[in-house]
A and B are shown apart, each in its own frame.
Chain A
Amino acid sequence: MLQKVVRSTVIDAPIDRVWAVLRDFNSHDQWHDVVAESRIEGGEAPTQVGCIRSFTLKDGNRIREQLLTLSETEHRSTYCIVEATVPLQRYVATVTLKPVTDGDRTFWHWESTFATPPGMERELRQMVAEGVYEAGFENLRRHLGRRGDARRGDGGTTTVSRGAPVASREVRLHRYGGPEQLEVGAGEAPPPGPGEVRIRQRAIGVNYFDIYLRRGWIPALLPVSDTRPGVLGMEAAGTVLDVGEGVGTVLPGDRVAYLGPRPGAYTSVRTVPADWVVRLPAAVEDETAAALFLKGLTADVLVRDLGRVGPGARLLVHAAAGGVGLLVCAAARRLGATVLGTVSTEAKARVAREHGCQHVIVTADYRFADAVQRQAGGADVIVDGLGDAAREENFAALARRGHWISLGQASGALQPISPDWLVQKSATFSRPVVFDYVDTPATLAERAQRLWDALAAGTAPPIERYALDAAAQAHARLESRGSVGALVLVA
Chain B
Amino acid sequence: MVRVYVSSIIDAAAENVWARVRDFNALPQWHPGIADSRIENSEPSDRIGCIRHFHTRDGGMIRERLLALSDYDYSCTYSILESPMGVDDYVATLKLTPVTDGARTFAEWSAEFECAEGRERELTELIGGGVFQGGFDALKRHFGRR
Knowing A7-B100, A8-B98, the reply to whether A102 touches B106 (Cβ < 8 A) is: no
In A104-130, which residues have CB < 8 Å from any B CB?
105, 107, 109
Q: Which residue of A lies closest to B101 (CB)?
A: A9
Binding site for B on A (CB under 8 A): 6-10, 98-103, 105, 107, 109, 134, 137
Q: How far is the CA of A213 from the CA of B136 in the complex (A)?
A: 62
Knowing A100-B106, A102-B133, the reply to whether A8 touches B99 (Cβ < 8 A) is: yes
Closest 3 CB pairs of A and B: A102-B8, A9-B101, A107-B106
Report yes or no: B6 in contact with A134, Cβ–Cβ below 8 A: no
Interface size of B by Cβ–Cβ distance < 8 Å? 16
Q: Which residue of A lies closest to B136 (CB)?
A: A102
List residues of chain A with CB within 8 A of the CB of B108: 98
- A contact patch SS: strand
A-B contacts counted at CB < 8 A amount to 51
Q: How far is the CA of A137 from the CA of B133 in the complex (A)?
A: 27
Q: How far is the CB of B85 from chain A (nearest CB, A)?
A: 21
Q: Mark B72-114, 1 if CB is under 8 A from A, else 0.
A: 0000000000000000000000000111111010101000000
Q: How far is the CB of B25 from chain A (nearest CB, A)?
A: 26
Q: Which residue of B lies closest to A133 (CB)?
A: B100
- B contact patch SS: strand
Knowing A98-B106, A98-B108, the reply to whether A107 touches B101 (Cβ < 8 A) is: no
Report yes or no: B6 in contact with A101, Cβ–Cβ below 8 A: yes
Q: Mark B1-13, 1 if CB is under 8 A from A, else 0.
A: 0000111110000
Q: How far is the CA of A6 from the CA of B100 in the complex (A)?
A: 8
Knowing A98-B106, A98-B108, A100-B106, the reply to whether A107 touches B5 (Cβ < 8 A) is: no
Knowing A101-B7, A102-B7, the reply to whether A134 touches B99 (Cβ < 8 A) is: no
Q: How far is the CB of B110 from chain A (nearest CB, A)?
A: 10
List residues of chain A with CB within 8 A of the CB of B133: 101-102
Q: How far is the CB of B16 from chain A (nearest CB, A)?
A: 17
Q: Which residue of B lies closest to A99 (CB)?
A: B7
Most A Cβ at <10 Å: residue of B6, B100, B108, B133: B100
Report yes or no: B7 in contact with A10, Cβ–Cβ below 8 A: no
Knowing A8-B106, A107-B106, the reply to whether A100 touches B101 (Cβ < 8 A) is: no
Q: How far is the CA of A6 from the CA of B7 in the complex (A)?
A: 20
Most B Cβ at <10 Å: residue of A100, A103, A109, A137: A100
Report yes or no: B7 in contact with A9, Cβ–Cβ below 8 A: no
Q: How far is the CA of A99 from the CA of B128 in the complex (A)?
A: 14
Report yes or no: B6 in contact with A102, Cβ–Cβ below 8 A: yes
Contacts A7-B100, A101-B5 known; 7 new A-B pairs at CB < 8 A? A8-B98, A98-B106, A100-B7, A102-B133, A105-B9, A107-B7, A109-B97
List residues of chain A with CB within 8 A of the CB of B99: 8-10, 107
Q: How far is the CB of A14 from chain B (nearest CB, A)?
A: 13
List residues of chain A with CB within 8 A of the CB of B98: 6, 8
List residues of chain B with CB within 8 A of the CB of A103: 8-9
Q: How far is the CB of B103 from chain A (nearest CB, A)?
A: 11
Knowing A98-B108, A107-B106, the reply to whether A8 touches B6 (Cβ < 8 A) is: no
Report yes or no: A100 in contact with B5, Cβ–Cβ below 8 A: no
List residues of chain B with CB within 8 A of the CB of A10: 9, 99, 101-102, 104, 106
A-B pairs with beta carbons under 8 Å apart, 11 shown: A8-B100, A8-B101, A9-B99, A10-B104, A98-B7, A99-B7, A100-B7, A103-B8, A105-B9, A107-B97, A107-B106
Q: How far is the CB of B93 from chain A (nearest CB, A)?
A: 13
List residues of chain B with CB within 8 A of the CB of A107: 7, 9, 97, 99, 106
Q: Which residue of B lies closest to A98 (CB)?
A: B7
Q: How far is the CB of B92 from chain A (nearest CB, A)?
A: 15
Q: How far is the CA of A39 from the CA of B7 in the complex (A)?
A: 36
List residues of chain B with CB within 8 A of the CB of A9: 99-102
Q: How far is the CB of A7 from chain B (nearest CB, A)?
A: 5
Q: Mark B102-146, 1 if CB is under 8 A from A, else 0.
A: 101010100000000000000000000000010010000000000
Q: How far is the CA of A105 from the CA of B9 in the complex (A)?
A: 9
Q: Which residue of A lies closest to B98 (CB)?
A: A8
Q: How far is the CA of A103 from the CA of B136 in the complex (A)?
A: 12
Q: How far is the CA of A107 from the CA of B108 in the complex (A)?
A: 11
List residues of chain A with CB within 8 A of the CB of B100: 6-9
List residues of chain B with CB within 8 A of the CB of A100: 7-9, 106
List residues of chain A with CB within 8 A of the CB of B97: 8, 107, 109
Q: How far is the CA of A325 from the CA of B83 in the complex (A)?
A: 75
Report yes or no: B101 in contact with A101, Cβ–Cβ below 8 A: no
List residues of chain A with CB within 8 A of the CB of B8: 100-103
List residues of chain B with CB within 8 A of the CB of A105: 9
Q: How far is the CB of A74 from chain B (nearest CB, A)?
A: 13
Report yes or no: A134 in contact with B101, Cβ–Cβ below 8 A: yes
List residues of chain A with CB within 8 A of the CB of B102: 9-10
Q: How far is the CA of A137 from the CA of B102 in the complex (A)?
A: 12
Q: How far is the CB of A6 from chain B (nearest CB, A)?
A: 7
Q: Which residue of B lies closest to A7 (CB)?
A: B100
Q: How far is the CA of A100 from the CA of B102 in the complex (A)?
A: 16
List residues of chain B with CB within 8 A of the CB of A134: 101
Q: How far is the CA of A109 from the CA of B105 in the complex (A)?
A: 12
Q: How far is the CA of A8 from the CA of B102 in the complex (A)?
A: 9
Q: Which residue of A lies closest to B128 (CB)?
A: A101
Q: How far is the CB of A334 from chain B (nearest CB, A)?
A: 47
